[in-house]
Structure 1
Amino acid sequence: MASARVLARARLRQGWARVRRAFGPVLLASLAAGVAWFVARDVVGHPNPFFAPVSAWLALGFAADRRLRKVAELAIGVAVGVALADLLVQWIGSGAVQVAVVLAASALVARFLGRGDLLAMQAGVQAIVIVGLPAAESGGALGRWVDALVGGAVALAVATLLPQDPRSRVRSLAHEAVTEIAGVVHLLARGLESADPDDAAEALTRGRASQPVLDQWREEAGAARYNARVSPAFRRHTGELEKLEASAVLADRAMRNARVLARRCVQVVSDGHDTAHLAGLVAAVAAATDDLAADLARGGPSGRGRQALADVAGGCDPWSVSGDDWQVQAVVLLLRSLVVDLLEVAGHEPGAARGLLPEI
């Protein structure tokens, strides 16, 4: 039951974070779709310009990745599918066989025009819609193609005039992912302080539920780094994005170590060991990880979190935490691995991070 609650909270937390990140792109794409409808209906004069907002929405989507090349590829794919399907439907009509023929022809023409999979995919989808949607309901044959061009042009204008900084989404994901690590460590500290193995078990469950966020951070950091490298407007940010991508790999390792630590804490607490001193050390690591998450959200790991982790590393001495309980000492050894990983996320070189720990 407790695990179900932890998983439910994780899904709600991650879902809300996705909504926050998508709000701006969705709003912009929705406004672009409205503008495309207005231009096609009130400027061009088509009574039902269905494909204008469709083209604008598909070309922009709701993702933060809005490179001009990608937007243009999607817009061209929609226009190609609409134009080719319009012409073929005039000759061969509509039906099951016609759907297959028009889909194959549109996809192959799109493949000829460009190597991008998105272009061929959108051409095929729009071809299917054209065959199934009577021309009388969508502005006539060539009118549908014009509407698609209008929507694509609006999408390109939006992508050109309002480019999105590729760092913002990656920073948000970095903050969310490292906050998840901090949340796991906070639960461990609570379980160690209260001697409640259920809290430690919840920490393990939360750590497992947080893996998709870490995976998304790593994937999107790589994509953003590539986008910045090929974009003159954002090429200067390539260095920061490379660091964020490297930090994503290190944070994934930190979370794996946190889960190993959680499993060990469950056993130690269940066996009734004195973990009061250990709880304070783990709580300090959790607070420092919160600071690191805030630093990443602001654009870099160098800041309060880096210093806080360096300070707490000095307290990770197994014999100082427990002089005679080897099982508690073993937990401190696992905690040292986690602290080193977090120090590397904060920008320390591996040797320097290990050098901040007390010698044993």
Structure 2
Amino acid sequence: MSGGGAGRGDAAVSRRAGAAARAALRTLPGRIRVRQGISRVRVSFWPVVQASLAAGVAYGIATFVLGHSQPFFAAVAAWVCLGFSFDRELRKVAEVAVGVALGVALGDLMVHVIGSGWWQIALVMAISATLARFLDRGPLVTIQAGVQAGVVVGLPASVATNGAVGRWTDALVGGGVALLVALITPGDPRRRIRSLAQEATRELALTLESVARGLRDGDADELAAALVRGRAAEKVLEDWHDVATKSDEIARVSVNRVHRAEITRLAAQAVLVDRAMRSVRVLARRVPATLRSLGMLEEDDTDHRVAAVPLSGGMPAPPTVDPEVDPVADLVVRYAHGVRLLASALGSGTGLAQARDALAEVAHDVDPRSLGEGHWQVQSLVLLLRSPVVDTLEAAGLSPDEARDSLPEM
């Protein structure tokens, strides 16, 4: 009786532990999104402070120097022109300033000529956008001209308290303050790209560490968490690639062209790390089947997740370390360490030599003939590691041929 009671108690503990693990797994994407949100706030904090102060300064100039009572468009123009990122190109700021000033001027003019209403808004936005397209090929001028003209016409006439050109001069003040701020605080687009690169590459390292823990401990929840983490990292990987690509295009014709070589490299590294992450997700999906083939896991038909093999007495046993799997788990841990070094180097903009050396040592040991010999399922895991290792070696500075040559011959 006591043995049966102990068995039921252990089963209840096991069920509670499984429920807790599944609950933690469900909250993992939310935790990752929160961390990514905090990272975005950290990167954008000072640009937001600068734009906010510029809006206040523009409002103050229009109030105390021009004598305007409600210089709303001075603050709006400064904020819109500067935005909330460090990669402020002087031409881009100037385009937005011209678009804002043009839209406000045409809106003010049309309000005094034809008044306000639904058809007046449609007409003034069409005229503003057409004129902006004639003056400049960039989309920013056109968008801002149409938006600001529509806002001016849509606001009640009581807001226009500073004469026929009051709102236009307010917009000029805001645009001028924004241009001054952009001139004296030149942005370095590498700052944001490096931050995204570090965050995305660190997610790859964390995913690898989850795979290693799941592989060594026979932990199905850990392996599922690795997949969830890998999928959740797609957004930051996309942001890294998009920001780097756009910055590379801008650097061709801007003062940041001196940084173009690094920006171009960061854009290429984004593609390589994304490829490595996709391969690691394939590895994480393959591990449970391998562990089941070794008798470390079995399929639980009740909740369709992988569970530890029970002993003959019915009590679940902690998974034992398989002599074939453990070296592979160690290799994945070493690989994760090399990826962490790569993330640190990408984030700081320093040399990649330390990460490259660590990853090269891992590459030399990714040999299915020495790991998992006689167990083709284990050897398949080693084979799956070869592709992401090559990708991260290329991201660390090796050429494609050099990265492939780092692997043992098959």
TM-score tier (shorter):
over 0.9
Mapping of residues 123-134 of structure 1, within 5 Å: 123-134=145-156
1:177 to 200, 210, 231: 200
Alpha carbons 1:292, 1:301 under 8 Å: kept: no
Tell me the distance in 1 between the aligned counterparts of 2:147 and 2:122. 12
CA distance in 2, matches of 1:356, 1:342: 12
Match of 2:228 in 1: 205
Q: Deviating runs (4+, > 6 A) in structure 1?
A: none
Contact 1:196–1:269 (8 Å) recurs in 2:
no
- Contact preservation (8 Å) 1:301, 1:347: no
Distance in 1 separating the partners of 2:379 and 2:351:
29
- What is the TM-score normalised by the length of structure 1? 0.96
Do the aligned residues in 2 keep the contact of 1:166 with 1:228 (CA within 8 Å)?
Answer: no
* Distance change in 2, residues 1:187/1:301 (3 Å): farther
Q: Is the 8 A contact 2:110 2:153 kept in 1?
A: no
What is the aligned residue count? 359
Specify every segment of 5 or more residues in structure 1 that has no aligned partner in the other structure, as ranges. Answer: none
* 2:176 corresponds to: 153
Query: Identity over the aligned pairs, expressed in percent?
Result: 53
Shift of 1:279: 1.2
User: 1:278 is matched with which residue: 308, 328, 347?
Assistant: 328
**Match in the other structure for 1:288:** 338
TM-fit CA distance, 1:270: 4.2
* CA displacement, residues 229-279 of structure 1 (integer Å, 9 cap, x when unaligned): 2123x2221111111111111111111111111111132234435322211
Letter in 2 for 1:163: P
Residue in structure 1 matching 2:389, options 325, 336, 339: 339
Question: Paired residue for 1:194?
Answer: 217
Residue deviations 1:134-186 (CA, integer Å, cap 9, x gap):
34325433111000000000001111111111211111111111111111101
Separation in 1, partners of 2:197, 2:121: 45
The superposition leaves residues 196-219 of structure 1 with CA deviations (integer Å, 9 ceiling, x where unpaired) of 122112111111111111111111
Paired amino acid for 1:256: R
Q: Find out whether 1:297 has 2:338 as its counterpart.
A: no
Structure 2 distance, partners of 1:343, 1:143, is 60
| Distance apart, 1:16 and its partner CA | 1.2
1:1-360 aligned at under 5 Å gives the runs 1-140=23-162, 141-232=164-255, 234-271=256-293, 272-273=295-296, 274=322, 275-300=325-350, 302-360=352-410
**Rg larger in structure:** 2
Q: TM-score, normalised by structure 2?
A: 0.84
The two structures, once aligned, show a CA RMSD in angstroms of: 1.5
The alpha-carbon deviation at position 300 of structure 1 amounts to 4.7
- Counterparts of 2:267 and 2:244, CA distance in 1: 5
1:64, 1:184 → 2: CA distance? 30
Which deviates the most, 197-206 or 223-232? 223-232
Contact kept in structure 2, 1:84 and 1:106, CA below 8 Å:
yes
